[in-house]
Amino acid sequence: MNKTISAANAPAAVGPYCHAKLAGNTLYTSGQLGLVPATGALPEGVEAQARQALDQALGRQAALGDPAALCARREQLQQQLEQRRQEHQALTLALSALEQANARLQERFSPALNRLAGEYLSRLTGQRYRRVSFTRELEGSAATADDLSPRSALSLSRGTADQLYLSLRLAVCRLCLPEKPPIVLDDALAAFDDQRLGQALDLLQELAQDQQVLLFTCHRREGELLTGTPGVTKLALP
């Protein structure tokens, strides 16, 4: 522990230095004159000056505080520091274990996810895009049968990019949610052209055979295409 000491009962330091420095268990003090703090004058006589200097030294010691209390506080802080170090080490080990488990899970899960999402995208695009891949951050790419390398989602049209990520969401729902909760889509088909919209609705109807699908939209196309479809309920919200 390093501490700068400024004693209230000692004259102000003359020059660019302080009254004392505490470095660990060692106290370094500046030279001491028997100056009276209030006046800056030296008392008359050596004895008076020595007494004044000793009084100022005692003032510095008082500014430091009780040595026993300081030692107890230091031990307390050292114990807290050691506890924090142990907690940090435990958290670091836990984070490392989670990252390794996540990597192993993704290695097993990614092939199935890419395969199923690829099947869905192929359905949505009329067999044009047949292969997809997603990074660990779920950044997607897709490829046609003629592509030498996959196309990043950023290079796809708005509609195709939306179809790519719709395929991803549907595949995740199938693979990761065994309870099969409702699939909720909010204007997810807005950028689809009419042909791909029809293909998307066909796929959603197929998935709805064993999993409820809720499709919200502010467009009329979906409702018109689904009119008269068995098992489809249309609600117009105010």
Asked if residue 166 is part of any domain, the answer here is yes
Q: Is the pTM of this model over 0.85?
A: no
Q: What is the domain-level CATH number for residue 168?
A: 3.40.50.300
Do both 94 and 200 map to the same domain?
A: yes
Output the DSSP codes for 174-195.
Answer: HHH-TT-PPEEEESTTTT--HH
Are residues 143 and 29 part of one domain?
A: no
Same domain, 20 and 125: no
Specify whether 135 is located in the same domain as 38. Answer: no
Do residue 118 and residue 49 come from a single domain?
no
Residues spanned by the domain of 49: 2-65
CA–CA distance from 144 to each of 39, 64, 121, 156 (Å)?
Answer: 92, 77, 11, 12
Q: Which two tokens stand for residue 236?
A: 């117009």
Place of tokens 């009084």: 55
pLDDT in tens, the chain (238 residues): 678 877 666 656 666 667 777 888 787 776 666 666 666 676 677 677 677 776 766 666 666 666 777 788 888 888 999 999 999 999 998 888 878 876 776 677 788 888 999 999 999 999 999 889 888 778 899 999 888 888 999 999 999 999 999 999 999 888 887 778 889 999 999 999 999 999 999 999 999 998 899 999 988 899 888 888 888 888 887 7
Cα 74 to its chain centre, rounded Å, is: 34
